[in-house]
Structure 1
Amino acid sequence: MAASRIMILGVAVAAAGGAGYIAKNMASAPPAEVVAPAGPQEPAIALSDVLVLSGDVPMGQPVDGQLRWQSWPADSVNDTFVTRGGEPDAIDKLKGAIARVPLYAGEPLRRTKLIGNGQSFMSSVLPSGMRAVATHISADTSAGGFILPNDFVDVIMTRRAPQSNSGGGSDRFITETVLKNIRVLAIDQTIQEDEEGKKVKVGETATLELTPQQAEIITVAQQMADRLTLALRSITDTQEKSADDADYLVSGNGRRGTIRLIKSGEVTEVGAR
């Protein structure tokens, strides 16, 4: 090959390499310089510290040890929430507070769900005008122990029927539903530890939410009955309000000033003195 051709070919190769290098540098622009903003950076959403539950708190139990501050979107803070800006010492102030209703972990705390220090739990959860009356129960008279606070029940009275004058024969019993759709306020049910682990001890007393008239009815029924049974109602029936109670036990056809005496199954009325 002639020397002139070799020189021309070398120059062409060198020119092509140089053009490629220049094109590569022109295509890859240097990265933009990142400049950090001066001073603290504000969050994209305004936040506010809200008092929340760090664990579940059953109804009637203290909230002490289950409270913590948590950042919350300021736009979503309700007026009933407890905020650090409004009450910075709220955790110390609420040490003796009692849960009026069940509270759950992560839930913002509301004062309306608490009972203040020194207040009675039962009188705080009892609606105005209602009465709390306790009645004896056992596993076989309380749906096997499955009746819990805030359930609704019927109260059934069972008593022996009066024997006929001729006597003889086996005992007969009369049953009657004396109260219907009654809310259970409390059950003295407890959990005990034994060798096999936790076991539930069925309570012996149920506290019911009653009107003054219903409180009188169950007081009389407790004296008359051989047994009072609580029948658990479906949750879908709780809105049904029944006025079909055993009012005859405490009033004579609606007349005040009379007392009903029940002896050997016979009912008589006498004037109150």
Structure 2
Amino acid sequence: MKKSRLIFLAFVIACGGGATYLVLDRPEPTPPAALAPTPVKQDQVLVAAHELTFGVVTQPGDFAWQDWPKESTVRGMVRKSDNADAIEEMKDSVVRGAFLAGEPIRKEKLFKGANSGFLSAILAPGYRAVAINIEGSGSTTAGNFILPNDRVDVIRIYRDEDAAKTGGGDAYVSETLITNVRVLAIGQNAQDKGGQAYVTGSTATLELDPHQSEAVILAQRVGQLSLVLRSMQDGREIAPLSPAQESHDGAVTVVRAGVATQSRGK
């Protein structure tokens, strides 16, 4: 073999070996340093330490402070940075809307009235508490399964005097007086279910507006009232006007000999 070829071959081998050395000896690239996450600003909000049911009178142990992302707080939450003494201020309040354990406390669902009774504290503004007679056997209250804070319709059963006068015998009429109203208490019990299957009593106290109050008090004088239990999903619906409410346009109802008649008020 010619000397020139040997020199060329040796040169090629040397170059290949050098390239291989450089590739194999190349250091691993250093990974970029991970960026530290931006810390989330925290605040503390007042939450229910355990489940709080409708009608409960709160004590300091019912509340707790809990860390909460500052950017996620919404209007109505009680923040420790705004009021560090909130737990002490909110004790002896009446719960007007139930809280789950860990749920942020909202002031509008609590009421504190030093000079008010319990029932007036849980009444919604502009409403009245009206008690009606019910049967202890449950025949007029869905078998005693109607409980405080349930929603009901009120049905009146009365004797048809016109049918009786025309010789039709005893004829009775049913009328839905009002719909979708809240039960405040059964007897003296105004607490939520709390594991009870049912509660009993001789009265049911309803939350009614002024027109509904008049209609119910009058209807109780001239007939029998029954409560019909509604689904809990109806609780947020706006109650439609019943026929009795729709006709309450300034008329005065007069009862003579058990018969109710209406005359236009002046």
Same fold (TM over 0.5): yes
Contact preservation (8 Å) 1:181, 1:233: no
Instruction: Give the stretch that moved more between structures: 136-145 or 198-207.
Output: 198-207
1:126/1:209 contact within 8 Å kept: yes
For 1:239 and 1:114, how far apart are their aligned partners in 2?
Answer: 22
Q: Which of the residues 33, 46, 52 maps onto 1:51?
A: 46
The TM-score normalised by the length of structure 2 is 0.67
Unaligned 5+ segments in structure 2 are 1-24, 29-36
Q: Distance in 2 between matches of 1:97 and 1:236?
A: 27
Residue in structure 1 matching 2:220, options 211, 219, 222: 222
Distance 1:66 1:246, change over 3 A: closer
SS of equivalent residue, structure 2 residue 244: coil
RMSD: 4.0
Partner Cα distance (1:117, 1:142) in 2 = 32
| Greater RCO, 1 or 2 (C-alpha within 8 Å, sep 6+) | 2
Structure 1 unaligned blocks of 5 or more: 1-25, 30-41, 192-196
Query: Relative to 1, partners in 2 of residues 1:81 and 1:224: Cα closer, same or farther, differing over 3 Å?
Result: same
Q: Which of 50, 57, 62 is residue 57 of structure 2 equivalent to?
A: 62
Query: Secondary structure of 1:245's match?
Result: helix
Change (3 A) 1:266 1:96: closer
Match of 2:87 among 91, 114, 128: 91
In the aligned structure 1, how far is the partner of 2:124 from the partner of 2:172?
33
Residues 116 and 122 of structure 1: CA distance in aligned 2, closer, same or farther (over 3 Å): same
Q: Percent of aligned pairs with the same residue?
A: 32
1:228-257 Cα shifts (integer Å, max 9, x gaps):
101223445943512411788xx8x9545x
CA drift of 1:124 comes to 4.2
Residue 239 of structure 1 corresponds to: 238
Once residues 179 and 67 of structure 1 are traced to their aligned partners in structure 2, the CA distance between those partners, rounded to angstroms, is 41
Q: Superposed, which structure 2 residues align to 1:137-156 within 5 Å?
A: 137-138=134-135, 139-156=138-155
With over 3 angstroms needed to count, the CA separation of the structure-2 counterparts of 1:71 and 1:254, relative to structure 1, is closer
SS, match of residue 228 in structure 2: strand
- Matched positions, count: 222
Contact 1:158 1:175 in 2 (8 A): yes
Shift of the alpha carbon at 1:79? 3.5
Where 1:260 maps in the other structure, the secondary structure is strand
Q: Which residue of 2 aligns with 1:123?
A: 120
